[in-house]
Every structure is written in C-alpha cells, then in structure tokens.
A and B are shown apart, each in its own frame.
Chain A
Amino acid sequence: MKEICFNLNFELRHLMVEPNEILLDVLRDKLGVKSPKCGCERGDCGACTVLLDGKAVRSCLILAVEADKRDIITVEGISQEKLSTLQNAFIEYNSFQCGYCAPGIILAVTELLEKNPHPNLAEIKECIAGHLCRCTGYTSIFDAIMAVSKGEK
C-alpha cells in the first residue's frame, strides 16, 4: 500500500492504494466517482476517459500511483455549477443514446476545445477516434461538436 493524494474535481483527496491498482477502479470503488465507465479494461473503448492535468487519458491504463499529486477532472467536475456549452449541445443534438460513452467523449472534446476552440470536422474525428459509441453512429456527436466549434452554441 502506498499513500497518494490528488486533486479530484477540485478537492484534495488522500488515500491508500495498492501499487497495481488502476485509476479507474480507485475512482469508482474508493472515491465514489462513477462517471468514468469500464467498457474494455484495455484502452480500446474510451469510456473510462478522465482529464489528468487537463489531458484526456484512459483511466484503465493509468495506475493510481501515477496520478499522485496531479489534477483529475471527470464529468462530475465539469457539471458542478452548470452544464458546459458542449454538454448542452450534446443534449440539444441528441448526441447520446444509452449514455455509456458520453462522459468519455465529453472529456476528450473538452480538452480539444480548450486547445482549439474552433476545430474542423477532421480534427473532431481525430479527437474522438479512440472512443467507441455503439448507438448513435457518431453523426449526432459530430453535429453537436461542430455547432460548438462554429460558435452556434
């Protein structure tokens, strides 16, 4: 066991972890943050994405100890005051169905928009290339992000 601490959704958390525990399990089982989902446990699906120091990473491929003294943001973190423009666009464009992939995609695109507020479609596709959605066929997701990119939202 090792003691680590990190900023999770703007709150400093101290906890003991095993050296082989993955960040996804620690967030979900020890810290009660449930929006990162487990879909494959091997980095294929993107459902477990979190922002680590502002960068979208797969929490199933990150050991909890690697997150020591860093900043972690999940969808719970960006929904605290009100929904972001991107989240509202997702609702307006029905960019989700079962909802399981939505938190991961929202975080990946949040990072993209931070760096590049007006991405084109190719950049958007590149950004979410590592995120699987089995329901929508992606079009409604692209539409929502394009609307934000064009400042329509």
Chain B
Amino acid sequence: MIEFRHATKNYGNVVALHDFSATIPSRTITVLMGLSGSGKTTAIRMVNKMVLPTSGQVLIDGEDVATRDAVQLRRSIGYVMQDVGLLPHKTVLQNVALIAVIAGQTRDEAERNARAMLSLVGIDPASFERFPSQLSGGQQQRVGVARALATKPNILLMDEPFGAVDPIVREELQVELCRIQRELGLTILFVTHDRHEALTIADQLIVMSNAGAIEQSGSPQELTAKPANDFVRKILGL
C-alpha cells in the first residue's frame, strides 16, 4: 500500500503539488489522471524519491520513504516512462539484465530473470541479442517494462508509458499490462492524460486538476456513473 499524506512540492514560488493525500491499495492498478500541471508526474516521482516532498510524506506499507536510502529504495520499485531510455550500446537482454546485476543478482541469475521477464512481456527470443534501435517503438516499450520488472519489484510506477506508441499497439500493451499485473500481483501507479486508457486499465481512478487537487476518486464505474463535477465530466468525456 502506498500512502500520500499531505504531500507538497514547491519549486521556488511554483507549486507543483499541493497537499496531496491519497491511498493506493496493494495489488491493484491506480491511475492518476489529469492534464499537464496537475502534479501527477510529481506525485509518482515522490514514491521512488526522484522528487523529495517540500512537506508531507509518502509511505510504503507504513514506512516513510524519507527514511529509506534512495538507491536501495529505487531498486525495489519498477519505473517506466514515455521515453523508454534504453541503453543504445547494450542489447535488449543486456539492458534488462544490467538492472538486475546492479541490484545485486549474479550474472547468471540476472540473465535468467531477464529472459523470463522479456518472454513475459512478449518479446521474441530472436530479438534478445538485438540493439534497441533495431526494435519498433512498441517493442522498445515492452523491453522497458521487462527492465522495470528485472529486480522483481512489488511496485511499478508508470509515467505515460504508452504515450508515444500508435493506438493499436497501445491497446495491446494495455491489455497485456493488466495480465502481467494479475500474474505478478503488482501494485501499479499509472499516470496518463488519456481517458480511454485510464478507463481501460484502472481499478481505482484519481482525477486531478491543478497542482494535485483531487476532483474525484473511485472505480471507473463509479466515476462514469456519478461524476462529481463538470471537470470530471469533461475530462472523462461524458
């Protein structure tokens, strides 16, 4: 379970996230949905200490992440963003295995896990020895997911991961993400501004407006049946 307690982030006079409180249940997909400036990326990056709160706390299973070593914490949490950021000088397999090796797995163990995770996300073994530039955008994104799972994390943070892939591949990836989430029992915190994507994958949906103000949260069914206000109605296209 991830808890945000009055999490606030200021950059000088700019407020990126203001007094954000939310609970993300374990083994579910929670989607943070909002437009740019809603603070959704700031919120997600607080979980793995890529952003440190100006005030407030983020807790994982009751433990304040502020007390954890940033590097160790990050090794226990998967992270995927729109620009996959694969290493161009390493093969697909090396890209995934490297993260596991860095987190302390032996080379053999890391390679075995990397193969398993790549197969899980649907990468053909024939592509394992290719370089990322030889893969399509959708395949690169799959490798990005496999890499994020290389250290066997319980939590996966995804910041508009499928924003740059075409709509058909995007839907495929959404379906597979839900399958993988169930298979591994992951807690996924997913950021998007795409209403279709949000409604497809979310167990819980949190609609944010300016700087982390929560307009409404609940299951997609609840939100579509009883939108709290015009903002929610508009962003969900109701």
A binds B: no
